[in-house]
Copies of this chain bind each other. A is one copy, B any other.
Amino acid sequence: MNKIINHPDHMISEMLDGYLAMYGDQFEKIPNPNGKCNGMIRKDRRDKVSVVVGGGGGNEPWIIGYVGKGLADGAALGPVYTAPPARAILNVTKEVPHEKGVVYIAANHTGDVLNFELVSELAELEGIRTECVFVTDDITSAPIEHQEERRGVAGISMVVKIAGAAAEAGLELDEVVRIARKACANTYTFSVTTSPGYMPGSGKAMFEMPEGEIEYGMGFNGENGVLHTPLTSADEIADTLMKYLLDDIRPAEGDELAVFVNGFGFTSKLELCILSRRVHEILCEKGAAIHDMFTDELFCPQGTGGLSISIVRLDEELKKYYDAPAYAPFFKKMKMGDLRWETR
């Protein structure tokens, strides 16, 4: 597939430069002596707990797009599909406000966990208190009894959003961490893949997938999913996605749910809305209380067809932070009433 890049080795740093060319009033780059690993932070520093995210590139807007008001304060960027180097994470940690501590939020993948845990110890040596939250929303990667072993996918957007709002509200480190972990424990994601993504560097497909077939719960690198079927209708796809999700979540009477339909990039908004119609219908049939439902593209393995559904089970506390506005150029989550219209 034709890719619009310069040299594969410079993709992440050039992406960051382009992002900062457009949004440099809000963000700045954290330079790195070896020029290879990169980080960025918010310019509007406040005396509060900071949230720092990190991971491999290639799923934009995750990670670069999760830094913003009501979201994260800084991001450490690894190469495409590779964990960020410890040095990048440490540099970002030192540059964000850290007197009140730093919460790290990353997906629960081996490389990310290793590097964030290492930096957590290094930061401690420098007198910076940190805590790690590894997001485990992918319901197909381990059974619910071993929820802590699950991988992190698109639900990480909701955990960062809730933790970011809690930090923005001025809560202390232990409280932000407790709320982030509660959000994580209550976030569930399941996906369907309809066509393979590509390696951004080469444009080569990540894996083979025959036309007319789809797979549920597939990993982004082609790891086997839980169900491989012929292509069916949007309504049947929604039925299958929601069956697996609701069997896993088992929402209780009165549970309020936030529902996020995340397009992988290649699947159009037309398709996402058609599928969302049936998802909403299913939840209504089951008597679920839908606190909020939306579709966006917040976690997009390059060029992949398909989507994931993330559901967050909200209590009053999570709802408060879920509802707070969040603003980053690629991650805007707010209500119409959150805007100042009267000044115009």
Contact = CB atoms under 8 A, between A and B. Distances in A.
A277 B17 contact: yes
Given A234-B5, A270-B200, A277 B339 contact: no
B60 A269 contact: yes
Contact of A15 (B23, B270, B294): B270
> Main SS of chain A's interface residues?
mixed
A147 interface: no
Contacts of A1: 194-195, 211, 305
A317 to B, nearest CB: 14
Q: Which among A268, A325, A336 has the greatest number of chain B C-beta atoms within 10 A? A: A268
A263 to B, nearest CB: 9
Contacts of A128: none
A112 to B, nearest CB: 19
Interface string A268-286: 1111111111101100000
Interface in A21-70: 21-23, 26, 44, 57-58, 60-61, 64-65, 68-70
A269 B6 contact: no
Nearest to A281: B21
